[in-house]
Amino acid sequence: MALARPLRMAQILGWRLLRKRKRARTQLERAIAGLPFAQHRWNKEAGVADTELVVETSHAGRSSLMAVHLHVSSGYSRKEIAAAVQSALKQSVESAGIFVTQGSGAAYEMSPNPEITLIQGIYQTRLEAISACIALAKRRGIQWLVPFDPSSRLSRYSLASYSAHLLRQEQARNAPVLYGDEIGLGRLRATPAMWLKPDWDGRMALSQDYLSSACALAIEPASQLLLGDETQLPHSLFELVLRLCEGSAASHVGRVTSHTEPEAWREKGGETLDAVRRVTRSKAETVEAGPFGTVKVIYETPTPLPKVSVVVATRDRVELLRTCVDGVLHATNYANLELVVADNESVEPETLDYMETIANDPRVKVVRWPHPFNYSAINNFAVRQSSGEYICLLNNDIEVLEPNWLMAMMREAVRPGVGAVGARLLYPDRTIQHAGVAIGIGNAAGHAHRGLPEKEPGFFAQTLIARGASAVTAACLVVARQHFDSVGGLDESELAVAYNDVDFCLKLRAKGLQNIYSPEATLIHYESKSRGLDFAPEHLDRYLKELAAFQKRWSTMRVVDPWHHPRFDRSSEIYCV
């Protein structure tokens, strides 16, 4: 932040003195936006606007009836319980009820308060208590229930934000679950611990519980589920949320609705793991604990394995090609594959000799593309020469690190509704080159978390979990042939070199398919070593034309990526406000 960094502040003042006022103003706005008071100010302004909308529409009978449920179990202090109760009482809009339940060993002494209903009985689990509250809410005609516990606080505008979201977003009214963003409890910090969340992502929800600590449950579908088959009843709030969302999507409320302990998101791994195991028991081969309280779901692969055609476009630079080919043929544990090497006018004798040698391997086919470099056209041509049911586009400057990379990608690619699957790619210095692509960064598209050290979790472990993404890079991309063909492959005419992979993935999404980032597949990418960078003088004119075409086609100057919160800095590939 500039205001905390004198050197950056001096730079802003320098731009101002040089009459570069627009640049100075933009940088100053970004610096201010990252300050703690700015975040709290934005939260308050948004909350006030939500409150005004709810109050205005309540007179017309349009607002939704929303109750709060606080479950008190053992282990919480009186101070924590009192603070949680006060957060429910001090909402900016009136609730339809505040329900309090107790677990075994809880010591809750409630002063008489007409706004609070203490539900009698001792509940062995929180889910039992939630079930009782949902039944009571249904009898009272209440439409939504907001569950929380004494480890967290409702934001002052929590109910207003949920209610205003329902008023603004018509499709949200059919959602079984609403969920909001979170901010860490405690004093103001240089960098507030704000968990600004993506839109609903069913794959990510199986990797991480980013829902249950700040959510609202629709009473009707929750009641139906809890009255169903006893053998299928959920064991936890998170499992209830997952089961509610099996048939329809949760709806993201882009507001802070809960204050939670800064490390709470990574400390509920056991409950998350149990919920995911129960929900995926018939679909996954194994489900195991991941880092930072996350979960690794390893899906089954079909038997026999589908054939994968690995397509590598290349020109000379045999040292790169040899590393890539050796990794595919001798260090990959996927048995049913073919390798199609598309040669784009190589002239170096050593390269030509090497391609002649590998062509003797029955798994290898070398095809020639004797035309000017056009990444899209070369790959489309090579795909037409291949025979696999699935296609793996692989750059010639990729180095295989672990033998299971292709198997990991195929486990995701064979699932119904999946479009392209991308890998986690590292630079040679083991920093992140690719962990999914977000649209709108730089008013075009950017690689999420680029430059972070390999073991850094990124924003709330985003680099380490399987999740959806708007796009993934074609430096290592797996897709079913039928999906590749359905969108016409890569764009040869307007996006010959840059942005063709992002455009391809967006076309898959437009067909209702989900693109997946799979960190279980991790490889090294010596980015653009064989063809040079787009910003090199000899490539700049072509790049700018492709950038303009991409921006126009997908409106990237104004679009907000579903995985990139509107509050994030669009100029940064590191997720920050």
Range 353-359, long-range pairs (CB < 8 A, 24+ positions): 354/318, 354/321, 354/322, 355/321, 358/325, 358/329
- With tokens 């007179």, the residue in question is 59
Phi, psi angle pair for 367, to nearest 5°? -120, 155
Residues 6+ apart with CB under 8 A from 231: none
| Per-residue pLDDT, 2 | 40
Please tell me the distance from the alpha carbon of residue 128 to that of residue 130, in angstroms, as a whole number: 5
CA 528 from centroid of its chain's CA atoms: 26
Three-state DSSP class for 361? coil
Q: Could you tell me if 2 and 12 are in contact, meaning their C-beta atoms sit under 8 angstroms apart?
A: yes
Please tell me the distance from the alpha carbon of residue 144 to that of residue 257, in angstroms, as a whole number: 15
Token code pair at residue 182: 């979170």
CA 147 from centroid of its chain's CA atoms: 24
Please tell me the distance from the alpha carbon of residue 305 to that of residue 289, in angstroms, as a whole number: 26
- Using the CB atoms, write b or e for 529-558: b if 16+ within 10 Å: ebbeebeeeebeeebeebbebbbeebebee
- Using the CB atoms, write b or e for 356-369: b if 16+ within 10 Å: eebeeeeebbbbeb
CA-only gyration radius of the chain, Å: 26
Token code pair at residue 557: 């100057």
Three-state DSSP class for 88? helix
| Per-residue pLDDT, 297 | 98
| Per-residue pLDDT, 379 | 98
Please tell me the distance from the alpha carbon of residue 270 to that of residue 431, in angstroms, as a whole number: 30
Question: What residues are paired with 337 via a beta bridge?
Answer: 308
Q: What domains, with CATH codes, occur in the chain? A: 2-33 (no CATH), 61-298 (3.90.550.10), 308-554 (3.90.550.60)
- With tokens 């003195």, the residue in question is 17
Please tell me the distance from the alpha carbon of residue 311 to that of residue 308, in angstroms, as a whole number: 9
Q: Could you tell me if 102 and 122 are in contact, meaning their C-beta atoms sit under 8 angstroms apart?
A: yes
| Per-residue pLDDT, 464 | 96
Token code pair at residue 546: 């492709």
Strands 215-218, 144-148: pairing kind: antiparallel
Give the DSSP per-residue string, 159-187: HHHHHHHHHH-GGGGG-SEEEEEEEESSS
Question: What residues are paired with 309 via a beta bridge?
Answer: 338, 391
User: Is the four-CA dihedral 529, 534, 536, 542 of positive or negative sign?
Assistant: positive
SS (H, E, C) 501-514: HHHHHHHHHHCCCE
Per-residue pLDDT of the chain (577 residues; tens, 9 = 90+): 343 444 444 454 554 455 445 444 445 445 544 555 667 788 889 999 999 999 998 866 666 799 999 999 988 888 999 999 999 999 999 999 999 999 988 766 777 788 999 998 999 999 999 999 999 999 999 999 999 999 999 999 999 999 999 999 999 999 999 999 999 876 545 455 899 999 999 999 999 999 999 999 999 999 999 987 777 789 999 999 999 999 899 999 999 999 998 888 888 889 999 999 999 988 899 999 999 999 999 999 989 999 999 999 999 999 999 999 999 999 999 999 999 999 999 999 999 999 999 999 999 999 999 999 999 999 999 999 999 999 999 999 999 999 999 999 999 999 999 999 999 999 999 999 999 999 999 999 999 999 999 988 989 999 999 999 999 999 999 999 999 999 999 999 999 999 999 999 999 999 999 999 999 999 999 975 444 456 667 678 999 999 999 999 999 999 999 999 999 999 999 888 7
Q: Letter for the amino acid at 120?
A: Q
| Per-residue pLDDT, 88 | 97
- Using the CB atoms, write b or e for 431-446: b if 16+ within 10 Å: ebbbbbbbbbbeebbb
Predicted model pTM: 0.90
| Per-residue pLDDT, 29 | 47
Strands 476-480, 364-368: pairing kind: unpaired
- The upper half-sphere exposure of residue 401, i.e. CA atoms within 13 Å in the direction of its Cβ, equals 15
Q: Could you tell me if 366 and 358 are in contact, meaning their C-beta atoms sit under 8 angstroms apart?
A: yes
Query: Alpha-carbon dihedral of residues 155, 160, 166, 172, nearest 10 degrees?
Result: 0
